[in-house]
Structure 1
């Protein structure tokens, strides 16, 4: 009975989150002021706003890379929340093994990598190691370690997004 009681908060949180997301997915956004339905949907799922310091060509390159990353992050969120260990492990492994942007090299001042703040690269490495911890916890089916490691990974994600937007 004690083991069941310790899982109850995770199960309840998972059900609430799943219900919220399924409800939100079931109702398409209503167009505003003459917007088409497609444009309203694009606006809602557009992701991070563009940072002022990056030119459009650099943002386009990053956007392409981050689309797959964003899908993996969503898959991981659902899998962790619903305690789907195999799916959580797979998504965390995809995140931890995805190709990284390399730090700028001398003479590459015009490269995309030179435009990004150093903190971006530090957090990219941190995200990799924290995603590995999520995969390990999922493999062990350790609910507490899974929740803790996922929380630390999300902290890194938010810090990285803030660094990207504010060039910290």
Structure 2
């Protein structure tokens, strides 16, 4: 079966979503027995990106908290889009597009976390915001084709941003 160019983003988004679902279910810890909480140290552990060595220990908890919230929104968006739950997809996309961004480094802020992050991270962060807004618009219009295509483009940006972060490109 040959894929047309317009169907490729839809197929990519579907494959990425399916892969994420399979990974998430395989990575889930065993369900607790007899009312025990599935928590470690008071917080629920979810799979995520490893923290690169160039991020100092002191900055990791702050960045981790922001990225965990971002991951929850991304997961909600994936389910909303995949299951055509337009309101859920729109809400998650709006949360992603309106979340506080890390600002580019400023002169005199050489000790700030932002100076450690590669410039490509900031470019992709802006691109993700724009693409999340496109997903929200498509969900609002209940346009399945535009929803799939805009979500596919957003996921491409997510993967590129994660790569830039991990590899300091």
TM-score normalised to structure 2 length: 0.76
- In the alignment, which residue of structure 2 is the partner of 1:91? 92
- In the alignment, which residue of structure 2 is the partner of 1:138? 139
| Distance in 2 (alpha carbons) for counterparts of 1:123 and 1:67 | 18
- Specify the structure having the higher radius of gyration (Cα): 1
Shift of 1:38: 5.8
Post-superposition CA distance 1:85-128 (Å, at most 9, x none) = 01100100000000001000001010011111111100000000
| Distance in 2 (alpha carbons) for counterparts of 1:45 and 1:91 | 18
Residues 1-168 of structure 1: pairs in structure 2 closer than 5 A: 17=18, 24=25, 28-29=29-30, 45-168=46-169
- In the alignment, which residue of structure 2 is the partner of 1:3? none
Shift of 1:57: 1.5
| Distance in 1 (alpha carbons) for counterparts of 2:102 and 2:80 | 26
| Distance in 1 (alpha carbons) for counterparts of 2:165 and 2:152 | 20
* Greater RCO structure (CA 8 Å; 6+ sep): 2
| Distance in 2 (alpha carbons) for counterparts of 1:61 and 1:75 | 22
Shift of 1:29: 4.0
Post-superposition CA distance 1:65-88 (Å, at most 9, x none) = 111111000000000000000110
Runs of at least 5 residues in structure 2 that lack an aligned partner in the other structure:
1-9, 32-37
| C-alpha RMSD of the superposition | 2.8
| Distance in 1 (alpha carbons) for counterparts of 2:162 and 2:108 | 27
Runs of at least 5 residues in structure 1 that lack an aligned partner in the other structure:
1-8, 31-36
Total equivalences in the alignment:
144
Moved beyond 4 Å, runs of 4+: none
